[in-house]
Amino acid sequence: MKYAIIGAGGCGGSIGAFLAEAGQDVTLIARGEHLAAIREHGICVESPSRTFTVTDIKAVDEAGYAEIPDVLFVCVKGYSIPDIIPFLREHSDAETLIVPILNIYGTGAKLQQALPDATVVDGCIYIAAEIKEPGVILQKGDIFRIVFGARKGQALCRKMFLLEQELKAAGIDAVLSDQIERDAFQKYAYVSPMAACGLYYDATAEVFQRAGEERMLLIRCMKEIDALATAMGIPFLVDIEKTNLDILDALVPEASTSMQRDIWAGKPSEIDGLLYEPLRLGEQYGVEMPNYEMIVKVLKEKYGE
């Protein structure tokens, strides 16, 4: 299939590089020095297990893209979604499969309302990656899993099955889920507590990989999200504490969430969707969330709204 990926950072850049290395037709939609570097040298991926560069990959800015792909991965930050709606409308039709890979839960359903003519699934990604320098993606661990699927009432289509096959063929652990609401919220049960506790302690994965009060607070936050999932009618089918700690402990010590890095750099962040949204959901579904409340209170005093 023909792929376009808007947002060529740690997530989008990794997806594009793996697919292009496997011989797929991929176009990265990028900006600035990162775009210039990819055009000149290709895109390089560094991970604990291997390093490779793909030179046979197309890269353009939003204005330079003129096609309608089979699959369009949305890999921007949650706060950038309103800005890219016009691009998504222009470059999709009834045959286009749009796959949002964001940290914010429920993005697919919201995008579908704005893009009624396309098929927008829900999706999530497990990866610890970032732009190391223009044209270079650094993966801080070997986990690379994409979970996507049709929401309730949404019909499956051939491209969903083909996408799963082509991602797997490219070396990505891909899962076409039949319970995507639950599976996407399970990813949220990892990234939201990690972002909250990582920012609260100004700490990377190393601090939470060892026993101590930091790891215990992280676990308590995971349990609050676990209770929230049950109240929402999408209870997890796994031990979320063990599952998430296994993911955490497999990361390199310096790994952190993109929300932390954005805030530390003074950039816009996904703090509303990752830290404040759980409290709104807790109020909506009658779930007490004292650990989140404590963290949010401290962080609002430190960073403001």
Whether residues 170 and 239 share a domain: the answer is: no
Whether residues 153 and 15 share a domain: the answer is: yes
Give the CATH number, domain containing residue 270. Answer: 1.10.1040.10
Whether residues 194 and 165 share a domain: the answer is: no
**pTM of the entire predicted model:** 0.90
Report the share of the chain in percent with pLDDT over 70. 100
Whether residues 149 and 16 share a domain: the answer is: yes
Whether residues 19 and 107 share a domain: the answer is: yes
Give the CATH number, domain containing residue 157. Answer: 3.40.50.720
Contacts of 164 (CB under 8 A, 6+ apart): 174, 175, 176
Last residue of a domain, one of 157, 178, 199: 178
Whether residues 102 and 227 share a domain: the answer is: no
Tens of pLDDT, residues 16-63: 999 999 999 999 999 999 999 999 999 999 999 999 999 999 999 999
Phi, psi of 202 (to 5 degrees): 50, 50
Place of tokens 């799963």: 164
Tens of pLDDT, residues 84-124: 999 999 999 999 999 999 988 989 999 999 999 899 999 99
**pLDDT of amino acid 305:** 62
Dihedral class, residue 142 (left if φ above 0, else alpha if ψ from -120 to 50, else beta): alpha
Whether residues 219 and 259 share a domain: the answer is: yes
How many domains does the structure of the chain reveal? 2
Last residue of a domain, one of 178, 210, 232: 178
Whether residues 63 and 161 share a domain: the answer is: yes
Whether residues 194 and 149 share a domain: the answer is: no
Whether residues 174 and 195 share a domain: the answer is: no
Whether residues 34 and 121 share a domain: the answer is: yes
| Full residue range of the structural domain in which residue 256 is found | 182-303
Last residue of a domain, one of 129, 157, 178: 178
C-alpha distances out from residue 170 to 14, 22, 146, Å: 11, 5, 12
The SS3 assignment for 86 reads helix
Whether residues 212 and 97 share a domain: the answer is: no
